[in-house]
Structure 1
Amino acid sequence: MSDEKDPRVLFAAERTLLAWNRTSIALIAFGFVIERSGMLIRLLSSEPTEKSAHLVTVIIGLMFILIGAGVAVFSSRQYARLLASLKPSDFPDGYAARWGIAVNLGVAVLGLLLAAALFVSH
């Protein structure tokens, strides 16, 4: 980069972080839906279902939730590494570039809490 103020790299990285944030939220939400689908199938079924069939949806749902939380942590780490490589002139004056990391880590913590709550409830 030149010595001129050019925040395009920063903003491109932030857009990428936000895309990963949406991906992690979608994975967590999808995992929750899968986890709860076993309960729905059991409630709608006219015949008693096996406990193992419900356990499979719980495990797969929890795995999606944990993957979503992992994606949020990993993408935050990658973004933080990129921020460390930028020069001060790449940041607009007064711009708080680390809020994206805080939001992503918050999503990761909430995803882990959701996974723990669902695990304990079964």
Structure 2
Amino acid sequence: MPASPEQNDPRVYLAAERTFLAWIRTGLGLMGIGFAVARFGLFLREIGGGSGHPPVQTTGLSVWSGVALVALGVAVNLYAVFRHVTLTRELASGSWVPGQISKGAVALAVVLAIVGVAMAGYLVFLR
């Protein structure tokens, strides 16, 4: 089945590439924030240990949550590559069906919502 003229339009492929790059940007953002969160516990220990202050007691939660965010960013980037290759092949073969819900985007939104609720709970109960 030959591709329709709409599917041969370069704007369709450029839109797919923009979407791919947005996913990559999201994954890199998650990885960067995860790195900062993981290093924040180290920063607190360093500033609390000097000049006669008692050492800061940390739970190690910042390291594990930071590593989890970095891992989530890596997973998002891998999913972005898989989805982009799949979509490009579907567009080239003419088998792409419009109106499909992006399961990956919905799953990422749900995971980030759960992480946000957990962080809010942590901040409220740890005052």
Pair in the same fold by TM > 0.5 = yes
Does 1:15 find its partner at 2:15? no
Using the alignment, how far apart are the partners of 2:24 and 2:78 within structure 1? 10
Instruction: Specify the code of the residue in structure 2 equivalent to 1:15.
Output: R
- Aligned residue type for 1:30: I
The partner residue of 2:5 within 3, 9, 18 is 3
* Structure 2: runs of 5+ lacking an equivalent: 94-127
Post-superposition CA distance 1:89-109 (Å, at most 9, x none) = xxxxxxxxxxxxxxxxxxxxx
**Which structure has the larger Rg over C-alpha atoms?**
2
Match status 1:82 vs 2:87: yes
Shift of 1:18: 0.4
In structure 2, C-alpha distance between the alignment counterparts of 1:10 and 1:58, rounded to whole Å: 39
User: Shift in Å at residue 9 of structure 1?
Assistant: 1.2
Q: Equivalent residue for 2:109?
A: none
Deviation at 1:87, TM superposition (A): 2.5
Q: Distance in 1 between matches of 2:4 and 2:35?
A: 46
Which residue identity lines up with residue 3 of structure 1 in the other structure?
A: P
Structure 1 gap ranges (5+) = 89-122
Aligned pair count? 87
Q: Give the equivalent residue in structure 2 for 1:30.
A: 33
Q: Give the aligned partner of residue 78 of structure 2.
A: 73
* Equivalent of residue 55 in structure 2, options 36, 48, 51: 48
1:58 aligned to which of 54, 58, 63:
63
Q: Give the share of equivalent positions with the same residue, in percent.
A: 34
Letter in 2 for 1:49: V
The Cα shift of 1:13 comes to 0.6
Q: Taking structure 2 as the reference length, what is the TM-score of the superposition? A: 0.62
- Deviation at residue 48 of structure 1 after TM alignment: 1.4
